[in-house]
Structure formats: structure tokens, C-alpha cells
């Protein structure tokens, strides 16, 4: 009996990492390969997990629709408001907290869904500069930092 258990354990496919699993759960079902679809189907057997996955996929669709098409105004905002209402009443505390925090930033989220502008370029430059500064471990004076920033540009 012990040998059978060892054989079953050694032949079983390895479990997906948490990073891989979250990626599979947020992708659309038609985009999954058969192995990933089987893992997702198994996770979705749990009603609470199915609820969280549905909310996650809906949120991703809202954000992705904004990224791939020009802002459509009301429809994205309406979808976001519906999603936030569902998420705040889903019964899963971490999702409810996430929805509440987005609600506190509601004006910024609605602006991101409706306006054609993005601060992505500025945020990327700020992140790059912070990375250069951190690489110096606080040892650099202003002249050296200035040189590094200009050389990196």
C-alpha cells in the first residue's frame, strides 16, 4: 500500500505556483490550455473561490477594455460601479477591503476610465530615478546623482 502511494505521488503532476495559479485564474477561460483549464475548474468547485475569480475577471475586463480601446465614458464607469457594489458585498473580507479602498479613490478611478490621458510615462520615469538613487545606498551627493541620472537617460 505504501508503494502505491509513493507511485501516485511521484507520477502526479506538480502543482502550479501561486503566481501561475493567479495568472490562470484571471485569464479568460477560452485562453487557457487544457492543463490550466483543468486546474482552474478544480479551483472553481469552491463557491467562495468561484466568486472571487469572477470578481477578479470582471475587474480585469474593465481595466483591459480601457487599455485596448479609447475611453468610452459611461459604460466603463457603470461597469466599475456595478463591480464595486458586488465586490463590497461578496462576503470575502480582502476583496471587500480592496473595493472599499478603490471607492475611497473613486474620482481617480473614474477619471482613469473616462479620460484619454495617462500618467504612465511620468510614473515610469520617477520609478527609474528612484531605482538609480537607491542603487547608491544613500552615499551619493547631489553632483554624483545628477551625473548618474543624466548618463542613464
> Rounded to whole angstroms, how far apart are CA atoms 58 and 114?
18
Please tell me the total count of domains within the chain: 3
SS3 47: helix
pLDDT in tens, 74-117: 677 889 999 999 999 999 999 999 999 999 988 888 888 888 87
- Mean pLDDT for 47-51 is 93
Dihedral sign of CA atoms 39, 41, 46, 47 in order: positive
In this predicted structure, what is the pLDDT of residue 45? 92
Backbone angles phi, psi at 96, to 5 degrees: -60, -40
Say how many CA atoms lie within 13 Å of 82 toward its Cβ. Answer: 9
102 and 124 together in one domain: no
The cell numbers describing 89, all together, are: 458585498
125 and 110 together in one domain: no
pTM of the model: 0.67
pLDDT in tens, 108-149: 888 888 888 777 788 888 888 787 777 776 676 777 777 877
CB 71 within 8 A of CB 89: no
Region for residue 68 given its phi and psi (left: phi exceeds 0; alpha: psi -120 to 50; beta: otherwise): alpha
CB 113 within 8 A of CB 67: no
The CA-atom distances, in angstroms, between 101 and each of 51, 72, 73, 84 are: 19, 24, 22, 10
Backbone angles phi, psi at 28, to 5 degrees: -70, 145
95 and 106 together in one domain: yes
Q: Which residue segment(s) compose the domain that 109 sits in?
A: 61-117
137: in domain: yes
Amino acid at each position: 500500500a505504501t508503494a502505491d502511494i509513493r507511485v501516485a505521488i511521484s507520477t502526479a503532476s506538480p502543482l502550479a505556483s501561486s503566481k501561475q495559479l493567479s495568472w490562470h485564474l484571471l485569464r479568460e477561460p477560452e485562453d487557457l490550455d487544457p492543463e490550466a483549464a483543468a486546474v482552474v475548474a478544480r479551483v472553481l468547485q469552491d463557491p467562495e473561490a468561484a466568486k472571487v475569480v469572477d470578481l477578479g475577471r470582471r475587474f480585469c475586463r474593465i481595466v483591459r477594455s480601457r487599455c485596448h480601446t479609447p475611453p468610452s465614458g459611461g459604460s466603463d464607469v457603470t461597469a466599475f460601479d456595478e463591480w464595486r457594489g458586488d465586490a463590497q458585498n461578496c462576503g470575502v473580507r480582502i476583496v471587500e477591503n480592496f473595493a472599499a479602498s478603490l471607492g475611497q479613490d473613486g474620482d481617480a478611478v473614474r477619471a482613469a476610465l473616462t479620460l484619454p490621458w495617462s500618467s504612465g510615462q511620468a510614473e515610469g520615469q520617477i520609478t527609474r530615478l528612484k531605482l538609480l538613487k537607491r542603487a547608491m545606498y544613500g552615499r551619493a551627493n547631489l553632483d554624483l546623482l545628477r551625473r548618474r541620472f543624466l548618463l542613464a537617460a
